[in-house]
Amino acid sequence: MSTKYIIIAGGNGTRWGNYTGKPKHFAVIGEEPILYRTINLLRANHVAYGDIYVVSKDYKVEYVHNYHIEPNYADHADADKFLSSSDLWNEDGRTVILYGDIYFSEDAIKQIIAYPKTHWTMFCRPTASKITGTPWGECFAVSFYDFDNKMAFDKLWQLIHLYKGKALDRIGGWEWARIVAEVPLNKIADHQEDLPLYFVIDDVTDDIDCPDDYDRLKKLIED
């Protein structure tokens, strides 16, 4: 069976605020933009170029990769970044959704590619990082197989209905993991629990949401 690798880089970047004059997925750490790095790491681990997709509103992505798709959902809070990739989900094998604003370590990409289990999985760090100094947990990637496509899609819509009904304040990766795992959704801090659907990556891999995240990680990697 094949694997599709979908990099989602379609967020508005509100917290980033056009820092460095570029979208955050083009922020440079270690001599290359993090989006380039993710693609290059996949290619270095024998992922075919045609199996890598980028979902983005940024026309510059066309210069990064030969395929990009405009996000096609709106007004669904964070769930739209996952829904916008759904037309690309693999119908005969594995789908891996990688966050576009993550600096991935080489080991992290290797672990994601080689992951043997077939159930829906969130690759993440549930708690603060002693390595990067980020004081909270972060989601990095999601993996699932074609037999879970409908379930994954339906769970996202369940989150949207809960969000629009004011039952939830946010609906991102943590909430997607919790509703798939069928555990309570009422507390954001609950993602610090060790869910069986988590695969923990705890190294220099980290998310870049705001300028402080970028400056801290850039200093760590480049010094």
| Band (64; pLDDT cuts 50, 70, 90) | low
Quote the radius of gyration of the chain (alpha carbons, Å).
Answer: 16
Q: What is the pLDDT of residue 65?
A: 55
Highest mean pLDDT range out of 9-23, 73-87, 115-129, 181-195?
A: 115-129
The predicted model scores a pTM of 0.92
The C-alpha atoms of residue 52 and residue 42 are separated, in whole angstroms, by 8
In the chain, pLDDT over 70 holds for what percent of residues? Answer: 85
What average pLDDT does this structure show over 112-122? 97
Q: What is the pLDDT of residues 177-206, one digit of tens each?
A: 999 999 888 655 555 667 889 999 999 999
The C-alpha atoms of residue 63 and residue 61 are separated, in whole angstroms, by 5
Q: Determine the CATH number of domain 2-222.
A: 3.90.550.10
- In this predicted structure, the answer to whether residue 50 has a pLDDT above a threshold of 90 is no
- 28-29 and 32-33 beta bridge pairing: antiparallel
The C-alpha atoms of residue 102 and residue 96 are separated, in whole angstroms, by 14
Position of tokens 């990095």? 140
The C-alpha atoms of residue 9 and residue 94 are separated, in whole angstroms, by 20
Write out the two tokens for 150. 């409908």
Q: What is the pLDDT of residues 144-161, one digit of tens each?
A: 999 999 999 999 999 999
What average pLDDT does this structure show over 212-216? 91
